[in-house]
Amino acid sequence: LASTRKFKGSVALIFQPAEEPEFPTGGFKMVQEGIMDRFGISQVFGMHSWPGLEVGKFAICHGSIMGSQDDFDIVVKGRGGHAADPHWTIDPVVIAAQIILGLQTLVSRKTDPLESLVISVTKLSAAQAYNVIPDQVEIAGTVRTLASGLRDFAEQEMLASAQGIARGFGADIEFRYLRSVPATFNHAEGTDLAIQAARSLVGSASVNAKMKPSIGAEDFAYMLEARPGAYIFLGNGPTAQCHNPAYDFDDHALPYGIGYWVNLVETVLPIGR
């Protein structure tokens, strides 16, 4: 771009840190600290490698392309005791099991099947001994959706469900719901520009413009809330999925990623504009 100057305007290259840690993430912090105004950014675009998609191909869609991420903690408070005498306890392990199963009915029986909602329990902590029923059990996990309204639904219904189940057994809960990342939403004009730039590089047949959205989350979403634009996936071949220790970035994808960025700048900022 610096050598050819086949564009009219200015370009900011954003190197985004700290995508994965808990809120506040790098994308949120950069927007909060004024990156858009500081560098006069009017449109913003992002890219992510995509295992399973052939190198040299791209995938994108209009609207929500990745889901929101919320995280939750539930502490079930019962009454502990000896495992040989469960009748003298209010067993938080059994209650926690009921709560975990109950949370899944919020998806299967209280959510429109045409809308995406995922509630995954990923942490469970109880006693450390074979013969102890603990006083409390800690449950934690994540909530993903493409529909912003379902975030409110999930928070309210998860609390009501967990609290109702616990109190039915004579126990109680503590509940924490942390809103981490909104859905990544591709704007219409920005998506069209991204598709045009990718197609001019690799041809229409190598650009899937109607990919299925991923329910995974991406904190680039905060940048797309601040400015219009789009997020696209770059093929990374038949490697393991992201977040798998066997994931391997294919260096052959680099020219396609670089080519896309150059084409995009020249498409968004044409000299004749």
* pLDDT on residue 21: 63
Cα separations in angstroms, 61 against 57, 176, 210, 213, 234? 14, 33, 5, 7, 13
199-251 pLDDT tens trace = 999 999 999 999 999 999 999 999 999 999 999 999 999 999 888 899 999 99
74-100 pLDDT tens trace = 999 999 999 999 999 999 999 999 999
Where do we find the tokens 């909530």?
143
199 and 7 in contact (C-beta within 8 Å)? no
126-147 pLDDT tens trace = 999 999 999 999 999 999 999 8
Amino acid identity of residue 25, one-letter, is T
* pLDDT on residue 223: 96
* pLDDT on residue 212: 95
Amino acid identity of residue 225, one-letter, is E
Every domain of the chain and the residues it spans: 26-66+182-268, 67-181
CATH code for the domain defined by 67-181? 3.30.70.360
* Spacing of C-alpha 2 from chain mean position: 34
In CATH, what class is 26-66+182-268? alpha beta
Considering only CA atoms, which of 240, 251, 232 is closest in space to residue 57? 232
259/148: higher pLDDT = 259
27-64 pLDDT tens trace = 999 999 999 999 999 999 999 999 999 999 999 999 99
What are the φ/ψ torsions at residue 96 (nearest 5 degrees)? -60, -40
| Predicted model pTM | 0.88
* pLDDT on residue 17: 86
